[in-house]
């Protein structure tokens, strides 16, 4: 990659999010390069947490690291601390990052998962499908074809437990949110909000256009990893009929 | 031991120190809003500091103790009483079987923590007993307590059991017996009705106009009634960005102060989402989060800037002080 300078390749910025966490930023735009850096640092710390690390939160262009300052400060008593950067828990985390970031393995993983999400489109389970189709002068089937015809990238999980921020939806079916949000969108609802698409893991109020529903549970609190999806996964929607939806059970995944 | 809820109160939930390790899956941390009060309340009954306790909000519940119990109430003073007699805060209290704990007017603060020897025994969900209201998980069936609920406590530590026995022998026929020692207010966070809250500059602080930057640190902001465990909505002088700019969503946390387009800041609290997409003007230092937790809607807060170094020093120093206090409490409980 001759056009990419070292700065762009390893370039990251660190800033504190208060006194117990740091945000590591890779680039400013939502793109594959930032995403790969985010995933690389996330999986490094998942495999090699440092003493005092509590947890990490990957997002579009950032990784936030939460830590316990009491496990990372210089053990000399506070009174004796000179006003230099030595001893600060934040600085300790920064020096760990300085060591690790340049050595990260950013190659695309062989183990990349593609998760197929069965969706029953339209009807009672997708009350806004017809409206979405009409607004684009398409048939409902065309919307389904576009929505289910490609792979999506899970950039991060947030907003609600197990809720994936998916990248890659075709602009051809981008649709503004509903003028008045629904009080309760059921768990499993698949929606379009602007140029994003997503799946509601738990029942919540929301303004997205609901085009279908999946029988899969995206949030399973009894599992060791409660979220079905994680940052870096690929997702494909797979249209199913109402009968299949009703008869679906978890084993079919 | 078991307790029955006779009246639920405004919002009474089971909370511990929070649910960690699942933020990357979109699961919020939750936990006690005032962690200082929760930790002290637990220590005062001989528990580990992170056990599950009741978080009582503004208007407290009525709770019947079906068996004798050792409790401690810390945090806001919501006028707790047993047998018509006011119960002192910030100390262990022995309660006779069959007595009822009630709450009255909210004299100070907004939230009280009722810790019970042995901790409140509800199933752990994702390694925490905290109630996650929005997902309907944790605590008691994932919801706030309601009339008719029954709660049980876990096994008492040796220290709790010994101290309870000692207190029982002193109680005679009184409905309760409070210890004559307590955690003094010199040890407290800077609780105040209209507090000054110390903050660090947020990542997008420079995005705000110079006028707004100055306003933020000089003008008072009112805590509106749209304030809950997720966040406090503030009203004051509007804060403007130099130019309209969008934040790419990233992690936020307890104490993050973000400013949506309309210009009124929101302080994210214990039940905040894991990620947010509004410009962050500031971040409350950890040691002032308990102070915020005790602020009532209608009061005002003011923000004061501190450096990261000051915030870290404060954190480390306060935690060391806390450690000494914990040792002191241990001593008082064993010295019977």
Structural domains in chain B, CATH included, are 2-188+324-334 (no CATH), 196-305 (2.40.100.10)
Q: In what order do the strands lie in the sheet with B85-86?
A: B85-86, B80-82, B100-103, B62-65, B2-7, B150-152
- How far is the C-alpha of B206 from the C-alpha of B197, rounded, in Å? 20
Which chain A residues touch B311 with a CB distance below 8 Å? 18-19
Sign of CA dihedral A138, A143, A144, A148: positive
pLDDT of residue A11: 80
Cross-strand partners of A67? A53
- How far is the C-alpha of B266 from the C-alpha of B258, rounded, in Å? 5
By C-alpha distance, the chain A residue nearest B287 is A19
Residue B26 is nearest to which of A20, A81, A161, comparing CB atoms?
A: A161
pLDDT of residue A195: 86
The answer to whether residues A157 and A194 belong to one domain is: yes
Q: Mean pLDDT, chain A, as a whole number?
A: 88
Predicted confidence (pLDDT) per residue in B175-190, tens digit: 999 999 999 999 999 9
Residue A113 pLDDT exceeds 80:
yes
Higher pLDDT: A139 or A251? It is A139
Contact B274 A219 (CB under 8 A): no
Q: Mean pLDDT, chain B, as a whole number?
A: 96
Residue B35 pLDDT exceeds 50:
yes
Average pLDDT on B4-18 reads 97
Residue A173 pLDDT exceeds 70:
yes
Residue A45 pLDDT exceeds 90:
yes
pLDDT of residue B94: 98
pLDDT of residue A196: 87
Which chain A residues touch B25 with a CB distance below 8 Å? 157, 161-162, 219, 225-227, 230
Contact B24 A202 (CB under 8 A): no
- Asked which of A51, A75, A103 is the last residue of a domain, the reply is A103
- How far is the C-alpha of A156 from the C-alpha of B18, rounded, in Å? 22
By C-alpha distance, the chain B residue nearest A27 is B248
Q: How many CB pairs under 8 A join A and B?
A: 145
Residues of chain B whose beta carbon is less than 8 angstroms from a beta carbon of chain A are: 20-28, 125-126, 134-137, 200, 203, 248-253, 255-256, 273-275, 283-286, 308-309, 311-317, 319-320
- Asked which of A55, A79, A103 is the last residue of a domain, the reply is A103
Number of domain units in chain A: 2
pTM for the model stands at 0.93
Domain that holds residue A49: 6-103
By C-alpha distance, the chain B residue nearest A187 is B135
Higher pLDDT: A118 or A102? It is A118
Whether A67 has its CB under 8 Å from any CB of chain B: the answer is no
The residue of B230, B278, B279, B316 whose CB has the most chain A CBs within 10 angstroms, and thus the best one to mutate to test that interface, is B316
pLDDT of residue A111: 64
Residue A163 pLDDT exceeds 70:
yes
- Asked which of A71, A103, A135 is the last residue of a domain, the reply is A103
What is the helix (H) or strand (E) element at residue B132, kind and residue range?
Answer: none
Whether A92 has its CB under 8 Å from any CB of chain B: the answer is no
Percent of chain A whose predicted confidence (pLDDT) is above 70: 88
Residue A1 pLDDT exceeds 50:
no
**What CATH number does the domain containing A98 carry?**
3.30.1360.40
Give whole-number Cα distances, B8 to B11, B76, B101, in Å: 7, 18, 12
Residue A76 pLDDT class (50, 70, 90 cuts): low
- Whole-angstrom distance between the N-terminal and C-terminal Cα of chain A? 39
Residue A18 pLDDT exceeds 60:
yes
Q: Could you please report the per-residue DSSP string of A81-120?
A: --SSSTT-HHHHHHHHHHHHGGG---SPPTT--EEEEEEE
- Residues listed for chain A: 253
**What CATH number does the domain containing A165 carry?**
2.40.100.10
The answer to whether residues A56 and A157 belong to one domain is: no
Residue A1 in domain: no
pLDDT of residue A136: 97
Residue A109 in domain: no
Q: Which of residues 142-161 of A touch B (CB under 8 A)?
A: 156-161
């Amino acid at each position: 990659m001759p056009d990419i300078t070292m700065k762009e390749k390893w370039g990251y910025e660190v800033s504190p999010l208060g006194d117990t966490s740091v945000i590591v930023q890779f680039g400013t735009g939502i793109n594959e390069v930032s995403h790969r850096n985010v995933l690389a640092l996330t999986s490094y710390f998942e495999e090699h947490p440092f003493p005092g690390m509590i947890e990490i939160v990957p997002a579009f262009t950032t990784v936030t690291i939460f830590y316990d300052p009491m496990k990372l400060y210089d053990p000399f008593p506070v009174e004796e601390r000179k006003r230099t950067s030595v001893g600060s828990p934040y600085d300790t985390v920064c020096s760990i990052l300085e060591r690790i970031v340049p050595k990260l393995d950013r190659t695309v993983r062989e183990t990349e998962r593609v998760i197929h999400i069965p969706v029953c489109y339209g009807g009672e389970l997708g009350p806004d499908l017809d409206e979405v189709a009409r607004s684009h002068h398409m048939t409902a089937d065309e919307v389904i074809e576009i929505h289910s015809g490609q792979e999506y990238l899970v950039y991060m999980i947030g907003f609600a437990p197990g809720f994936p921020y998916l990248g890659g939806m075709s602009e051809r079916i981008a649709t503004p949110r509903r003028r008045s949000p629904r009080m309760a969108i059921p768990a499993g609802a698949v929606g379009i909000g602007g140029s994003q698409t997503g799946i509601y893991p738990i029942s919540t109020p929301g303004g997205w256009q609901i085009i279908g529903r999946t029988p899969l549970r995206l949030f399973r609190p009894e599992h060791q990893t409660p979220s079905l999806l994680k940052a870096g996964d690929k997702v494909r929607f797979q249209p199913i009929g109402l009968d299949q939806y009703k008869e679906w059970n978890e084993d079919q995944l | 031991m078991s307790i029955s809820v006779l009246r639920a109160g405004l919002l009474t939930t089971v909370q511990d120190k929070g649910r960690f390790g699942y933020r990357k899956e979109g699961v919020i941390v939750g936990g006690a809003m005032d962690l200082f009060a929760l930790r002290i309340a637990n220590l005062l009954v001989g528990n580990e500091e992170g056990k599950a306790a009741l978080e009582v909000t503004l208007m407290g519940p009525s709770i019947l103790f079906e068996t004798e119990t050792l409790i401690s109430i810390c945090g806001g003073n919501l006028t707790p009483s047993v047998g018509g007699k006011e119960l002192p805060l910030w100390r262990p209290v022995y309660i006779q079987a069959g007595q009822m704990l009630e709450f009255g007017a909210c004299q100070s603060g907004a939230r009280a923590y009722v810790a019970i020897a042995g901790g409140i025994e509800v199933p752990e969900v994702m390694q925490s007993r905290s109630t996650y209201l929005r997902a309907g998980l944790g605590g008691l069936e994932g919801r706030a307590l309601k009339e008719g609920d029954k709660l049980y406590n876990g096994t008492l530590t040796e220290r709790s059991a010994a101290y309870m026995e000692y207190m029982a022998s002193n109680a005679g026929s009184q409905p309760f017996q409070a210890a004559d020692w307590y955690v003094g207010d010199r040890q407290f966070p800077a609780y105040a009705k209209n507090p000054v809250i110390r903050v660090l500059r947020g990542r997008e602080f420079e995005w705000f106009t110079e006028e707004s930057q100055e306003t933020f640190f000089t003008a008072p902001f009112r805590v509106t009634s749209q304030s809950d465990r997720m966040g406090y909505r503030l009203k004051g002088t509007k804060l403007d960005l130099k130019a309209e700019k969008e934040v790419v969503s990233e992690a936020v946390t307890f104490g993050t102060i973000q400013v949506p387009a309309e210009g009124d800041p929101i302080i994210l609290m214990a039940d905040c989402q894991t990620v947010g997409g509004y410009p962050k003007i500031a971040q409350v230092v950890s040691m002032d989060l308990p102070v915020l937790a005790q602020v009532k809607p209608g009061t005002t807060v003011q923000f004061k800037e501190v450096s990261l170094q000051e915030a870290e020093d404060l954190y480390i120093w306060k935690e060391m002080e806390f450690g000494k206090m914990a040792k002191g409490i241990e001593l008082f409980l064993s010295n019977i």
